[in-house]
């Protein structure tokens, strides 16, 4: 079954990006001139997603507005013959169908996903978390869709290897490898301490789920951090059905923290022919200016 809907939870306060997030939704903070959320939505759209369901909280209207048409700006650009910019703005405004549902209390990722239940209906769907940008020719979420399709529409969790000392930051999966990249899962645990982690295979927030997860989410108790965890619901599902994990291909940037955000910014500036040369000059100049030895 074709997966047409994607849930993107964006209700978080983005405290790591204060003071900017006092007034700006974290998702709108740009990497150079493109808001972080653009990359997440683009990944979904390139994978064939037709509808994005944002799970929001107060102060997030700018994210919905970003993907809407802006007639006033379009008229201004048109009057001033800014054809290239006009085309770009129009393209974003018609990129994908966007809807939003409120998460009135931040009770965890499992709770956030459950908020979108009635909008998803009775079909498989994708979940993408906004803190991780994954760059790959074939979008990470598309890779998971293909694995799901190859396994009768099963649930598939995107994973990557992380250093053992980092397991407490992620949902960690366990299972048996069916091939180099695919595992049949037998469980999943949220943020285990390194000494308790079953593997070092972590999810950076890419999931293909089936509607059955909602019924589990309605019943699970609070878990790690006293929150309703999506991980715990997936763990329950593993005991009932075949669930898979897939080590997707792609470079991942952890833009949920300042260091990962800087990393992405530098990488994107070096990759883009429009910024590359001047940026290299600037880096060289500043390395000299601050007497940095490299």
**Nearest residue (CB) to ligand G1P, 41 versus 86:** 41
Cis before 19 (ω within 30): yes
* Angstrom distance (rounded) from CA 233 to CA 228: 9
Stretches 22-30, 117-125, 202-210, 260-268: which one binds ligand G1P (CB under 6 A)? 202-210
Tell me which of 124, 139, 171, 250 binds ligand G1P, using CB under 6 A: 171
Tell me which of 54, 66, 67, 170 binds ligand G1P, using CB under 6 A: 170
Q: 133 by DSSP, 3-state: which?
A: strand
Q: Given the structure tokens 């972590």, which residue do they identify?
A: 202
| Contact flags string 204-233 toward ligand G1P, x per CB under 6 A | xx-----------------------x-x--
Site for ligand G1P in 92-111 (CB under 6 A): 109
Q: Residues with Cβ < 8 Å from 236, sequence gap 6 or more? A: 216, 220
255 binds ligand G1P (CB under 6 A): no
Tell me which of 103, 145, 154, 190 binds ligand G1P, using CB under 6 A: 190
What angle (nearest 5°) sits at the alpha carbon of residue 64, between those of residues 77 and 74?
A: 10
Which secondary-structure segment (H or E) carries 177?
strand 171-177
What's the number of CA atoms in the CB half-sphere (13 Å) around residue 53?
A: 20
Stretches 65-73, 89-97, 118-126, 129-137: which one binds ligand G1P (CB under 6 A)? 129-137
Tokens (6 digits) for 96: 């994908």
CB of 11 to ligand G1P, least distance (A): 11
130 binds ligand G1P (CB under 6 A): no
Q: Given the structure tokens 């978390």, which residue do they identify?
A: 129
* Angstrom distance (rounded) from CA 16 to CA 83: 37
CB of 286 to ligand G1P, least distance (A): 31
CB of 229 to ligand G1P, least distance (A): 6
Are the beta carbons of 45 and 94 closer than 8 angstroms?
no
**Nearest residue (CB) to ligand G1P, 41 versus 129:** 129
Can you give the binding site for ligand G1P, defined by CB under 6 A?
109, 129, 131-132, 170-171, 190, 202-205, 229, 231
């Amino acid at each position: 079954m074709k997966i047409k809907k994607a849930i993107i939870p964006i209700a978080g306060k983005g405290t790591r990006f204060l003071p900017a997030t006092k007034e700006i939704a974290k998702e709108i903070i740009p990497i150079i001139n493109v808001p972080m959320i653009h990359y997440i939505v683009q990944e979904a759209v390139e994978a064939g997603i037709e509808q994005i369901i944002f799970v929001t909280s107060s102060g997030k209207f700018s994210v919905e507005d970003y993907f809407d048409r802006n007639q006033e700006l379009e008229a201004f650009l048109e009057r001033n013959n800014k054809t290239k910019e006009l085309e770009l703005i129009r393209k974003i405004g018609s990129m994908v169908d966007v809807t939003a549902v409120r998460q009135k209390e931040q009770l965890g990722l499992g709770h956030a996903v459950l908020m979108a239940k009635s909008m998803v209906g009775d079909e498989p769907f994708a979940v993408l978390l906004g803190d991780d940008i994954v760059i790959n020719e074939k979008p990470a979420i598309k890779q998971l869709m293909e694995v799901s399709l190859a396994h009768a529409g099963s649930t598939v969790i995107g994973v990557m290897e992380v250093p053992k000392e980092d397991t407490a930051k992620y949902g960690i999966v366990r299972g048996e490898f069916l091939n180099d990249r695919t595992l049949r899962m037998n469980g999943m645990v949220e943020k285990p301490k390194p000494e308790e982690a079953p593997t070092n295979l972590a999810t950076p927030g890419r999931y293909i789920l089936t509607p059955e997860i909602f019924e589990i989410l309605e019943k699970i108790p609070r878990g790690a951090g006293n929150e309703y965890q999506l991980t715990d619901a997936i763990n329950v599902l593993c005991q009932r059905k075949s669930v898979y994990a897939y080590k997707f291909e792609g470079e991942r940037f952890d833009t949920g923290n300042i260091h990962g955000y800087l990393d992405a910014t530098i990488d994107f500036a070096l990759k883009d022919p429009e910024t590359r040369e001047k940026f290299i000059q600037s880096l060289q100049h500043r390395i000299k200016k601050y007497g940095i030895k490299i």
